[in-house]
Amino acid sequence: MKKAIIGKKVGMTQIFDETGKVIPVTVIEAGPCTVTAKMTEEKEGYNAVQFGFEETAEKKLSKPEQGHLKKAGVAMVKHLKEFRLEDTKTFEVGDVVKADIFAEGEKVDVTGISKGHGYAGVIKRYGQGRTPTSHGGGPVHRHAGSMGSSADPSRIMPGKKQAGHMGVDQVTVQNLDVVKVDPELNLIAIRGAIPGPKGGIVYIKSTAKTQIIKKTDTAGVSVNPQKASARVNPQKASARTK
C-alpha cells in the first residue's frame, strides 16, 4: 500500500544498530498532517488525498486558502500537498496522519528543495575542469572557455552548461530506509542524506522502486548436469580451495 506524509527536516545525526554499526540518519519531523481534501475518480477524474501540515495564523494565509480550509472544517495550515495514493477510501477529510503511518524497515522516496548556492560558475555547478595553470594562462583559469560556435550556427545551442543559478531545485532521493519511528514525538529517522536545509519542507512517500528479493546461496547455480555451473571440476582452483 502506498503511503505518504509531509515533514520538516530537523537535521542529521547517527544511531547504532544491534551489532554496534553506525548508521548516519536524517531526522524528520513528520506530521501530524490533516486531511484537507479528497479527490475521487467520479468528480476530479483521479484518486488523491490532500494533506495539510504545520498550523499557522489565519491572517498569514490568502483568502482562497482560508476559504478552502474553512469549507473542509479543518484548522489553518501553512503547507498543502496532494498525494496520489492507491487506496484513498481509508482517508476522510479531517483525519490526522502521524509519523506511525510508516514503520521501521520500509523503503521511502523523499522529495525536497535543494540548498541554494547562488550564482555559480561551471566548475562548481557542473564539475568542469580548469584551464592550464602554466605560464600565459592569465586570470581565466576558472572560466568556461570557448563555446565552440563558428559561422554556423553562430550561437550557443540550448542546454549548454554555463554559469548560472545553482540549487533551489526539486530533488527526489529514492529507496531510502526508515531506520526508526517515534510516534510520540512525530519523528522519523531515515538512513542517509535528503535534499534541503534544516527546517526545509520534505515529502515522504512509499518508494516507487521495485523491491528486489534477495537471492539465496544456490541462486544462479544450474540444475542441468550438462552446464558448467552444475559440475564441480576438481581441476579448477575454486574447487581445490573448498
44-89 pLDDT, tens digit per residue, is 888 889 999 988 898 999 999 999 999 888 889 999 999 988 777 8
Are 14 and 191 contacting, i.e. CB atoms less than 8 angstroms apart?
no
Confidence (pLDDT) at 127: 92
DSSP 6-38: EEEEEEEEEEE-TT--EEEEEEEEE--EEEEEE
Mean per-residue pLDDT over the chain, rounded: 85
The pLDDT of 20-24, averaged and rounded, is: 91
How many percent of the chain have pLDDT more than 90? 43
Give the C-alpha separation, 48 to 85, whole Å.
6
Highest-confidence segment of 102-111, 150-159, 226-235: 102-111
**Nearest partner of 111 among 170, 52, 178, judged by Cα:** 170
Confidence (pLDDT) at 145: 79
Higher pLDDT, 22 or 214: 22
Higher pLDDT, 135 or 128: 128
Tell me the CA distances in angstroms from 100 to 17, 237, 240, one per residue in order: 20, 52, 53
Confidence (pLDDT) at 238: 57
Q: Is it the case that residue 241 has pLDDT exceeding 70?
A: no
Rg (CA), the chain: 26
Give the C-alpha separation, 205 to 198, whole Å.
19
Q: Where are the beta strands (DSSP E) in the chain?
A: 4-16, 22-30, 33-39, 48-55, 77-83, 96-97, 107-113, 118-120, 164-166, 170-182, 187-191, 201-206
pLDDT in tens, 161-172: 999 999 999 999
Q: Is 50 helix (H, G, I), strand (E, B) or coil?
A: strand
Name the strand (E) or helix (H) holding 68: helix 63-72
Confidence (pLDDT) at 40: 85
Q: Is it the case that residue 5 has pLDDT exceeding 60?
A: yes
Confidence (pLDDT) at 211: 66
Confidence (pLDDT) at 41: 84
pLDDT in tens, 166-193: 999 999 999 999 999 998 999 999 999 9
Q: Is it the case that residue 27 has pLDDT exceeding 90?
A: yes
Q: How many other C-beta atoms lie within 10 A of the C-beta of residue 83?
A: 20
Name the strand (E) or helix (H) holding 123: helix 122-126
Tell me the CA distances in angstroms from 144 to 63, 122, 133, 147, 197, one per residue in order: 47, 6, 14, 8, 29
Q: Is it the case that residue 201 has pLDDT exceeding 60?
A: yes
